[in-house]
Amino acid sequence: MGYVYIFGTIFFTVYGQLIIKMRIGNYGSLPAETMEKLFFLLKLFLDPFIFSGFISAFLASMCWMAAMTKFELSYAYPFMGLTFVIVFLYSVFFLGESFSFYKLLGLSLIVAGIIITSRAS
């Protein structure tokens, strides 16, 4: 059951990051003036999809707390590296973001680290 909590943490973290990125593009750039920034950020926060990203972050935290009751932190935390991989793949294939050899190399090192750490129990 502990792995379900880790999966939940990863799922909700990835969802939150992706939905916020997808919706932010609808609003343009952050204004330069302080008050305009505050109104801009409030407008973003009130977007239902962006708000769902914040709720998702809360749910990810709840899952993480549950996972911490089942695993040592040094074992469970490397699995969070999968969020980098999933977000990268989604951003390249569905958001049209850039792909490079160095990004692929970095992600490969993250995956290797997850594999190595998960075997050292």
Q: What is the pLDDT of residue 100?
A: 94
* Per-residue pLDDT at 57: 96
pLDDT of residue 33: 94
- Amino acid 1: pLDDT: 85
Range of 114's domain?
2-119
Give the pair of three-digit tokens for residue 116: 């190595």
Side chain identity, residue 41 = L
In this prediction, residue 121 carries a pLDDT of 58
C-alpha dihedral (20, 8, 63, 45), degrees to nearest 10: 10
pLDDT at 75: 87
CB 41 within 8 A of CB 28: no
Q: What is the pLDDT of residue 66?
A: 97
d(CA 1, CA 120): 20
The count of structural domains within the chain is 1
Query: What is the reported pTM?
Result: 0.86
In sequence order, the 6+-apart residues with CB closer than 8 A to the CB of 70 are 1, 2, 5, 76
Q: Can you give the length of the chain in residues? A: 121
What is the full per-residue pLDDT of the chain (121 aa) written as tens digits?
A: 889 999 999 999 999 999 999 999 899 999 999 999 999 999 999 999 999 999 999 999 999 999 999 999 988 988 898 899 999 999 999 999 999 999 999 999 988 988 888 776 5
